[in-house]
Structure 1
Amino acid sequence: MSTRAVILKNISANLLLQLITALGGFILPPLIIVTYGSATNGMLASIKQFIAYLTLLEAGIGAAAIVALYQALTTRDNQLRNRILAATHHFYRICGSLFVIALLALAILLAWLTHNEISASLTFYMVLVMGAVNILDFFLFGSYRALLTADQKTYIISTIQAGSILANIAVCYWLISAGYNILTVQIASTLIQASKFLLYRQYVKHHYDNLNQHYDNLNQHYNKHNTYKLQQTWDALTHQLTGLLIFSSPLVLITLFLSLKDASVYAVYALIFGAIKMALQSLSQGMQAIFGHSLATNPERARHNFCRYNRLFMCFLGWVYTCTGLLLTPFIQLYTHNMTDANYHQPALAILFLLVGIIENSRIPSMTIIMAAGRYKATKPQALLEAGLNIACSLCFIQLWGSAGILLAALVSFLYRSSEMVHYTCKHILSLSCIRPYLLWLVVFATIAITISIGWQPVSNISVHNYLDWIKLSCITGLSTAIPFALLLFLIYRRPAQ
């Protein structure tokens, strides 16, 4: 299969996944808030973030395994592949055991922290039920996910996951509408999500010859004397840790310092911008493996393809966030119409989310190259500095400005790290000048600001009474704002790629 076909399949499958994920994200939370209250929605959002912290136990294993598997898959060395998978599976089993212990501790702690706003027993059992899927992931699928990702088959993961999410949306919607309690709904959701692991396992077993990920079944020589040592596991772990601290800490801090209702408000805005982020990440889906292979075999081609990819990505990012800036207010008004137990209309949060999203997602092309090249150790100090800056500013700013302070802290740390990633990618991996990527940033950011300024008044004058009106407005806005970015893309593609 050609590289272009692989990219198309991976991006298409991931776009489908993100679309269905966003669909569930927009359908279920309003129903949960109206049926069970904002406190319950805030509790669910907080549990997800706390569990995300616990999954750090496996962080670094998958990333290191993916880089290691490139060589085995390129050379079709099944023996080396199996040794890498055995080492990966061994690490996942150890981490899975630790995760079970940590999950029990989290259930007790979170039940105590939120007992004034919601039933302690409900919180306790919700943590255990929601964490059950992660336990299965540790023990059943972690090493297989690394294999499929390294083999440029993320479309398999995305397609199966999309199907499970679609089934989950349908079942949860029916259960909530029928009046079942939230714990019953979550148990059903967990069972549906668990079923996808059987499909993953079935695919891998039938599409890889002589696959083996258990030390006991490998040749005795490799079992005792030549077990594979995953390189940069702890360095990759550091990157995963810092990333999760940054992206998961907001709801945790809001839960600890503010309230579950504040967490629910933040979660609604985070849901919208999270869907936008996932759409942008779809453009990079599968690119890591492709760049990983080309950096090893044809660096010049990798350099040329990255320049073209970066230009396309930045123009798409500009168009997406321009549309978001113009359409967010009417959407929030529609989406939170029936959510009356908390103030969901907060323009300051909307503006800050927009700025943070633009700066954060500008790093995606550079981050993809860094991961493809396996430069975890070399970029570890910068990642630690970003995390330290983010957490320190968050702890200070949340005391002064509440939820808005969390976003201001993110803006500060993202400005540093995103620009640093561009510099490192150009200088130390691709041997390119940094000037053009930085100029591209400035041009795209200026185009976003100018287009929103011009379009704000006309869009604000259009009345939006229902989702059909909003969709019509979205189509008009999308087509209109595409013009400046299409022109920009045409102009920059006329220039040489380097």
Structure 2
Amino acid sequence: MSTRAVILKNISANLLLQLITALGGFILPPLIVVTYGSATNGMLASIKQFIAYLTLLEAGIGAAAVVALYQALTAQDNQLRNRILAAAHHFYRISGWLFAVALLILAILFAWLTHTEISASLTFYMVLIMGAVNILDFFFFGSYRALLTADQKTYIISAIQAGSIFVNIVVCYWLIRNGYSILTVQFISTLIQASKFLLYRHYVKHHYHNLNQHYDKHNAYKLQQTWDALTHQLTGLLIFSSPLVLITFFLSLKDASIYAVYALIFGAIKMALQSLSQGMQAIFGHSLTTDIQRTRQNFCRYNRLFMCFLGWVYTCTGLLLAPFIQLYTRNMTDANYHQPVLAALFLLVGIIENSRIPSMTMIMAAGRYKDTKPQALLEAALNITCSVCFIQIWGSAGILLAALISFLYRSSEMVHYTSKHILSLPCTRAYLLWLTVFATIAIILTIGWHPVNSISVHTFIDWIKLGFITGLSTAIPFGILLILIYRRPAQ
């Protein structure tokens, strides 16, 4: 299969996954708020973030295994492939047992923490049920995911996951509408999500011959940079999971629910942008060792395409967000979800944060976990320190200000590292591309804000019509920009 076909399949499948995930995110939380209350929605969002912390027990196994598997798959060395998978599977199982113990401790602590706002027994069982899927992932799928990722077959992961999420949305919607308890809804949801592991196992067993994950400690493969990859996962998870954790500690579950609604919207946008990088890590990982000049050229074109797409997406978001929030939260009356300051800060943070995706993809493809570990630690220290200080002054907005500071540092540093230390290219063009795209976003938002937001929007059909017109109009300047810069040489 050609490289272009692989990229197209990976991106298409991932886009389908993100669309279905976003669909569930936009349908279920409002229904949960209306049916069970904002406190319950805030509890669910916070539990997800706490559980995300516990997945650090993966200890960088997956990232290290993917990099190691590039060599084995390229050389078609099944024996080396099996040794790497056996090592990964062995450490995943150890991590799975640790995760199970940590999950029980979390259930007890979180039930105590939130008992004044919601039933302690409900919270306890919700944590255990929601974490059960992750336990299965550790024991049964972790090594398979690494294999499919390294073999440029993430479209398999995305397609199966998209199917399970779609079924989950339909079933949960029916259960909530018919008055079932939130505990029953989450239990059924967990069973549906767990079923996907059977499909993953069937595919891998059918398509990879002589697959053997038996761990022989006397002939065990030693995964390189496991702890360095762990550091990156730790810092990333601290940064991206800490907001709801801190809001739960310092503010309230209703504040967590408000933040979660905006995070849901911008998280969907982030996933759409990440779809453009789906499968690119494996492709760059293979080509870096065979044709560096072609890698430079392909990366520069990919980066320009990505930045223009980012500019268009966030321009549309900035123009259409206010009317969407009004429609989306019109039935959520037990908390104030109209937060213009939060919306503006989420927009700024999203632009800066996601500008790093191409550079981050290349760093991961090159396996440069150890070299970039100090920068990742500094970013996490900046983010957490500023968040703890700012949240006590500005509330949820302080969390976003802290993120803006740390992302400005880390995203610009990633561009510098990728250009200088991996591709041996000057940084000036990458930074100039940033400035050009950011300036275009600012100009269009300034010109288009009043005309777009002066239009009355009463239904989602009205909003879709407005979005269609806005999307076409804003696509013109970014399309022209892409045409002008896409085929410029890398040097």
The verdict on a shared fold, with TM-score over 0.5 as the criterion, is yes
Deviations 1:127-180 (A, max 9, x none): 000000000000000000000000000000000000000000000000000000
Give the number of equivalent residue pairs. 491
Answering whether residue 464 of structure 2 is matched by residue 483 of structure 1, we say no
3-state DSSP of counterpart to 2:152: coil
Whole-angstrom distance in 1 between the partners of 2:280 and 2:270: 16
User: Residues 348 and 224 from structure 1, CA distance in 2 versus in 1: closer, same or farther, beyond 3 angstroms?
Assistant: closer
Q: Paired residue for 2:347?
A: 354
Task: Single out whichever of 452-461 and 174-183 deviates more from structure 2.
Answer: 452-461
Q: Paired residue for 2:297?
A: 304
Offset of 1:460 from its aligned partner? 1.3
Offset of 1:415 from its aligned partner? 0.1
Offset of 1:375 from its aligned partner? 0.1
Q: Taking every aligned residue pair, what percent have the same amino acid on both sides? A: 87
What runs of 5+ residues in structure 2 fail to find an aligned partner? none
3-state DSSP of counterpart to 1:472: helix
2:378 to 363, 381, 385: 385
Whole-angstrom distance in 2 between the partners of 1:229 and 1:361: 33
Deviations 1:88-115 (A, max 9, x none): 0000000000000000000000000000
Offset of 1:224 from its aligned partner? 4.4
3-state DSSP of counterpart to 1:84: helix
Offset of 1:436 from its aligned partner? 0.2
Answering whether residue 99 of structure 2 is matched by residue 96 of structure 1, we say no
Amino acid of the residue matched to residue 92 of structure 1? Y
Deviations 1:400-424 (A, max 9, x none): 0000000000000000000000000
Amino acid of the residue matched to residue 26 of structure 1? F
Amino acid of the residue matched to residue 183 of structure 2? L
Whole-angstrom distance in 1 between the partners of 2:479 and 2:251: 43
Q: Paired residue for 1:2?
A: 2
Offset of 1:497 from its aligned partner? 3.0
Amino acid of the residue matched to residue 434 of structure 1? C
User: Residues 462 and 102 from structure 1, CA distance in 2 versus in 1: closer, same or farther, beyond 3 angstroms?
Assistant: same
Q: Paired residue for 1:322?
A: 315
1:406 to 392, 399, 402: 399
Q: Paired residue for 1:53?
A: 53
Offset of 1:323 from its aligned partner? 0.1
Q: Paired residue for 1:291?
A: 284
Q: Paired residue for 1:444?
A: 437
Q: Paired residue for 1:233?
A: 226
Deviations 1:386-437 (A, max 9, x none): 0000000000000000000000000000000000000000000000000000
Q: Paired residue for 2:172?
A: 172
Whole-angstrom distance in 2 between the partners of 1:23 and 1:468: 16
Whole-angstrom distance in 1 between the partners of 2:185 and 2:410: 40
Whole-angstrom distance in 1 between the partners of 2:229 and 2:188: 34
Offset of 1:495 from its aligned partner? 2.5
Whole-angstrom distance in 2 between the partners of 1:296 and 1:80: 19
Answering whether residue 82 of structure 2 is matched by residue 79 of structure 1, we say no
Equivalence map 1:176-195=2 (5 Å): 176-195=176-195
Amino acid of the residue matched to residue 472 of structure 1? K
Q: Paired residue for 2:145?
A: 145
Offset of 1:494 from its aligned partner? 4.8
Q: Paired residue for 2:408?
A: 415
Offset of 1:117 from its aligned partner? 0.1
Equivalence map 1:113-262=2 (5 Å): 113-215=113-215, 223-262=216-255
Amino acid of the residue matched to residue 471 of structure 1? I
Whole-angstrom distance in 2 between the partners of 1:161 and 1:199: 10
Whole-angstrom distance in 1 between the partners of 2:488 and 2:193: 47
Whole-angstrom distance in 2 between the partners of 1:253 and 1:282: 29
Whole-angstrom distance in 2 between the partners of 1:194 and 1:494: 45
Amino acid of the residue matched to residue 433 of structure 1? P
Whole-angstrom distance in 2 between the partners of 1:92 and 1:66: 14
Amino acid of the residue matched to residue 425 of structure 2? L
3-state DSSP of counterpart to 1:454: helix
3-state DSSP of counterpart to 1:463: coil
- Aligned partners of 2:387 and 2:402 also within 8 Å: yes
Q: Paired residue for 2:426?
A: 433
Q: Paired residue for 2:464?
A: 471
Offset of 1:299 from its aligned partner? 1.1
Whole-angstrom distance in 1 between the partners of 2:462 and 2:123: 39
Q: Paired residue for 2:326?
A: 333
3-state DSSP of counterpart to 2:288: helix
Offset of 1:297 from its aligned partner? 1.2
3-state DSSP of counterpart to 1:297: coil
Offset of 1:59 from its aligned partner? 3.7
Amino acid of the residue matched to residue 324 of structure 1? T
User: Residues 59 and 277 from structure 1, CA distance in 2 versus in 1: closer, same or farther, beyond 3 angstroms?
Assistant: farther
Deviations 1:374-393 (A, max 9, x none): 00000000000000000000
3-state DSSP of counterpart to 1:353: helix
Q: Paired residue for 2:257?
A: 264
Whole-angstrom distance in 2 between the partners of 1:20 and 1:445: 29
Whole-angstrom distance in 1 between the partners of 2:476 and 2:455: 20
- Aligned partners of 2:301 and 2:487 also within 8 Å: no
What runs of 5+ residues in structure 1 fail to find an aligned partner? 216-222
Q: Paired residue for 1:364?
A: 357
Equivalence map 1:39-50=2 (5 Å): 39-50=39-50
Amino acid of the residue matched to residue 127 of structure 1? V
TM-score of the two chains, using structure 1 as the length reference: 0.98
Answering whether residue 1 of structure 2 is matched by residue 29 of structure 1, we say no
- Aligned partners of 2:315 and 2:445 also within 8 Å: yes
Q: Paired residue for 2:274?
A: 281
3-state DSSP of counterpart to 1:296: coil
Offset of 1:457 from its aligned partner? 1.1
Offset of 1:214 from its aligned partner? 1.7
Amino acid of the residue matched to residue 83 of structure 1? R
Offset of 1:300 from its aligned partner? 1.1
Whole-angstrom distance in 2 between the partners of 1:71 and 1:145: 17
Q: Paired residue for 1:492?
A: 485
Answering whether residue 344 of structure 2 is matched by residue 345 of structure 1, we say no
Whole-angstrom distance in 2 between the partners of 1:242 and 1:175: 37
3-state DSSP of counterpart to 2:289: helix
Deviations 1:429-482 (A, max 9, x none): 000000000000000000000001111111012110000000000000000000
Offset of 1:226 from its aligned partner? 2.4
Amino acid of the residue matched to residue 98 of structure 1? L
Whole-angstrom distance in 2 between the partners of 1:495 and 1:7: 22
